[in-house]
Structure 1
């Protein structure tokens, strides 16, 4: 009689991370897809846009009234911002899957990724604190008479006579901004999509930037320009639209930069063995 053992399933290893080369037109495609997501779920976009606008209004008021608390408030924004962005990513993800976007699902989508998101936010806060400390050092070097008032800060930044201070300040700020951008450009949507840990997602994000430096520089410049323009218009009301568009577009940037994992391989069965 011949005995055939039951099939043995080979455990499939974790899908390797595959990055996709990006082209110069891709950032504009991401923005166009972000606009389509906003048009498909305008209510959700208005909710998150209102949150971004409120954060900008409060930050501007604190900067004018009590500038010494500005950096503390920025830290709070860095705590809240990633969770708001994840809600927009969840809306785009549901549209990809053919599911109806729901505000409730977008608000609570982070609860199953709390550990990874908490670690990533902690890194962002540490970077922001270091950024703030470095800015204070730059001011201390160039303004040895003491920290200027709010009006003095604005005059110092926009005064051509302080070009050395402006160059150093922008260089220091650019370094920290590049660190924040590089570590988050695809990490948060990756945590939502693949439930990866913060370290893996952060490293993948840095890899995307290093392998596509020109395109990522263009993407960062577009984000900066759109945010500045939205803040310039009617007390920052442009964030009502620009914020959600950039959030949805960032999801499409992740989708374009990181290839979707391949479908799991079928189970492998052990060959039958002849027995007497």
Structure 2
């Protein structure tokens, strides 16, 4: 009787390496957003010409959007969608300037303008998601108006009167809740996703998930960061013709790069603010 061959155990299973390196979501302190702004201001001072170019671009978008809202409010959503389409690509140019400066490279305007071309698929998908969110936000706002104004949509002046009329507090509260929920979702998805796409050439879904993780692990600090963004933009728009955006636009763009670098740590990363 022949003996059975000795049993040979299979080699141990070794999982394939992941395409995306492991990352760590850092715990942030409340001083972090102010450090990001300080680092962004340093980038602006180091390259005022490039930052000024993007500041003018953001300012022109705000001027066009405001003019359309005042003259033809029915086209406001269309122009806002166009701004949302162009804005992330402009912001990526500022991230590229900060990325190069942090890496010890010399930034230049041409490379910052075209830095998105190698990330077009991921950027296109993320921008599409943001536009869909913006359209849903607009539709939800129309529903709120329809519920509280059964005589039809008010005019532009009527909208402003309705918002600032204390007697319409129920409408203001509902509008603020709906708008705040969508604003929070958009901010959570985009807080660090575009800088991550630029830095790691990752897909839009992974970048958006990472951004949500940053928001989840550092909710209070990221809310502070969002409040600073809103306050700076609001103060800029309060100035005549919104000229404050010439400074706050690039400042927040550079600062967002450092928000990503401060919140997301990769293996062998250097320490950043």
TM score, norm. by length of structure 1: 0.90
Q: Which residue of 1 is the match for residue 115 of structure 2? A: 109
Report SS of the residue matched to 1:100: coil
Unpaired stretches in structure 1, ≥5 consecutive residues: 1-9, 264-276
RCO (CA 8 Å, sep 6+): is it higher in 1 or 2? 1
1:144 and 1:30 map into 2 onto residues whose CA distance is 46
1:238 and 1:261 map into 2 onto residues whose CA distance is 38
Instruction: List, as ranges, runs of 4+ consecutive aligned residues in structure 1 with deviation greater than 3 Å.
Output: 10-14
**Which residues of 2 match residues 195-206 of structure 1 at below 5 A?**
195-206=201-212
1:110 and 1:52 map into 2 onto residues whose CA distance is 17
Report SS of the residue matched to 1:235: helix
Q: Which residue of 2 is the match for residue 233 of structure 1? A: 239
Q: CA RMSD in A?
A: 1.2
Q: Does 1:169 align with 2:175?
A: yes
2:186 and 2:233 map into 1 onto residues whose CA distance is 16
Shift of 1:127: 0.2
The match for 1:44 among 15, 40, 50 is 50
TM score, norm. by length of structure 2: 0.91
Structure 2 contact 95–253 (Cα < 8 Å) conserved:
yes
Structure 1 contact 15–262 (Cα < 8 Å) conserved:
no
1:42 and 1:260 map into 2 onto residues whose CA distance is 30
Q: Which residue of 1 is the match for residue 80 of structure 2? A: 74
Report SS of the residue matched to 1:190: helix
1:178 and 1:32 map into 2 onto residues whose CA distance is 24
Q: Which residue of 2 is the match for residue 217 of structure 1? A: 223
1:12 and 1:95 map into 2 onto residues whose CA distance is 31
Structure 2 contact 21–266 (Cα < 8 Å) conserved:
no
Unpaired stretches in structure 2, ≥5 consecutive residues: 1-14
Q: Which residue of 2 is the match for residue 16 of structure 1? A: 22
